[in-house]
Amino acid sequence: MSAPKKLYIKTYGCQMNVYDSERMAETLGASGYVTTDTPDDADMILLNTCHIREKAAEKIYSELGRFKPLKAEKPDLKIGVAGCVAQAEGEEIMRRQPMVDLVVGPQSYHRLPAMEAKARAGEKALDTDFPEEDKFEHLKARPKAQRGPTAFLTVQEGCDKFCAFCVVPYTRGAEVSRPADRILSEARDLVERGVREITLLGQNVNAYHGAGEGGDWSLARLIWALNEIDGLERIRFTTSHPNDMSDDLIAAHGECEKLMPYLHLPVQSGSDRILKAMNRKHTAEGYLRLIERIRAARPDILISGDFIVGFPGETDADFADTMALVEEVRYGQAFSFKYSTRPGTPAAEKPQIDDDVASFRLQELQALIVRQQREVQESMVGRTVNVLFEKTGRLDGQMVGKSEYLHAVHVQAPDVARGDIRPVRITRSEPNSLAGELVT
Ligand code: SAH
Ligand code: SF4
Ligand code: F3S
């Protein structure tokens, strides 16, 4: 038997790309590949890319340039580009970087083995189709290897919302939900292999409506079914759209034992004028009342969000509305971005605002968000939380895990194993994590 070939995958972008990279590694495993942590000894390098902002996309070309000497040294090395840049700029990548052998869009990963064989035979392989068939049903099965305590599981892909700034509907295609029974069997398989926490993924995960027993299942119904799996201790989901936050899902946050008290619910802006121009189809007030209802169901829930500043036409007054909304919500965590013009999206056609103004607003917003994150973290001091331990820390005998609220927690706990869940009393809040001690 010949020695296995080595595959180096580098992942950019969202958690769905992380999940896809795992599945691509497994699929190529069937073609004789094992993964490696460095490009230096790889037989194939695969970049799983993100197109969401210009910087993310441009980075790929410089990253590819860095592999040039490797490729010169090792002519058999195959270089591939997957993910959303591949989908959006496939032909251009092939043109700009002739050393790229393979370009595969997110909907075609099940075709990777055939594409790899084609590339090995010295031909260029490019596939940015939107195939009829569901890639997840055709990807090779996971090998029965032991896993860490947490895993992602994509349940829904694509987006029909067409926010005016966003490339996702173009790179990932229309919204598709996977059948419930497939998700449940994949979840059971993950749990058998050591997983204790599953994060359900989708670009609009709460719009999930997969075929299940008795008709279409909602995300809440799926969560309740997952709640029944012995050995699975925690369920999370991301990313949600405010307009798909249904009553059963809100109720589940109050009633479902394994569903964690953390919700990532992006609003993007606090100005109704900008929300309208963004095609978000909800108002700031609507969002605030929704948060109220969610907090009524689960008072301690940690709310997280995403914001874009400097969207075309954003005035000082619009930005002030965003700051006011953030003040009112009190986020435990939030991500904010300067608007990035994406080719092919409606907002790209609009007059763009001054870059310095946008940068200034971003700084202000980020300062407010950091303040809120710190406040929420500090409110944890003195409380006892349950920590799912994921790995060893930097100090001797230290373990690191996550609380229910997704805060990283450092604990001196030499006898605790990966995958254990223990009560921990929080003693200190640090810039990006908490410290605590085991409750005995
Ligand atoms: N499906 C998710 C978000 C996917 S993209 C949702 O609807 O919430 C993740 C985040 O990137 C978005 O929430 C948005 O804040 C940001 N983003 C998307 N397009 C962007 C652009 N053109 N410029 C800047 N930020 C953008
Ligand atoms: Fe993009 Fe909007 Fe769809 Fe989210 S809901 S993926 S921001 S188009
Ligand atoms: Fe990026 Fe594509 Fe995810 S553009 S954020 S990798 S869906």
Nearest atom of ligand 3 to the alpha carbon of 167: 4
What is the Rg, in whole angstroms, of the alpha carbon atoms belonging to the chain? 22
156 in contact with ligand 2, CB cutoff 6 A: no
Helices 83-96 and 15-29, packing angle to 10 deg = 70
Query: Start-end ranges of CATH 3.40.50.12160 in the chain?
Result: 5-127
pTM metric for this prediction = 0.96
Q: Considering all CA atoms of the chain, what is the largest pairwise distance in Å, rounded to the nearest integer?
A: 68
The CA 266 to ligand 1 mean position distance, Å, reads 8
In this structure, how many other beta carbons lie within 10 angstroms of the beta carbon of residue 287? 25
The CA 4 to ligand 1 mean position distance, Å, reads 39
* Nearest ligand for residue 15 CA: 3
Token pair of 234, please?
Answer: 């925690």
Indicate the top mutation candidate among 16, 51, 203 to test ligand 2's pocket, ranked by most ligand atoms within 8 A of CB: 203
The CA 172 to ligand 3 mean position distance, Å, reads 8
- Which residue's CA is the closest to the ligand 2 atom numbered 1? 166
Which pLDDT score, from 0 to 100, does residue 142 have? 61
Query: Start-end ranges of CATH 3.30.750.210 in the chain?
Result: 144-260
Question: Is 384-438 a domain of CATH 3.30.43.10?
Answer: no
CATH class of 144-260: alpha beta
Query: Start-end ranges of CATH 3.30.750.200 in the chain?
Result: 290-379
Direct distance between the N- and C-terminal alpha carbons of the chain, in angstroms, rounded to an integer:
53
The CA 166 to ligand 1 mean position distance, Å, reads 6
Q: Profile the chain (440 residues) by mean pLDDT over runs of 10 residues.
A: 88 96 93 94 97 92 93 94 97 94 96 96 95 83 83 96 97 96 96 97 97 96 98 98 98 98 98 98 98 98 98 98 98 98 96 97 98 98 98 96 98 96 98 95
Token pair of 347, please?
Answer: 């907002």
- Give the whole-angstrom CA distance, residue 222 versus residue 225: 5
CATH class of 5-127: alpha beta
Token pair of 425, please?
Answer: 């009393």
Indicate the top mutation candidate among 168, 201, 206, 308 to test ligand 1's pocket, ranked by most ligand atoms within 8 A of CB: 308
223-228, long-range: CB < 8 A, 24+ apart:
223/249, 223/252, 223/256, 223/259, 224/252, 224/256, 225/180, 225/184, 226/184, 226/187, 226/198, 226/200, 226/258, 227/256, 227/257, 227/258, 227/259
The CA 131 to ligand 2 mean position distance, Å, reads 21
Nearest atom of ligand 2 to the alpha carbon of 241: 5
CATH class of 290-379: alpha beta
- Which residue's CA is the closest to the ligand 3 atom numbered 6? 50
Question: Which amino acid is residue 326, in one-letter code?
Answer: V
Nearest atom of ligand 1 to the alpha carbon of 52: 19
218 in contact with ligand 2, CB cutoff 6 A: no
The CA 105 to ligand 3 mean position distance, Å, reads 12
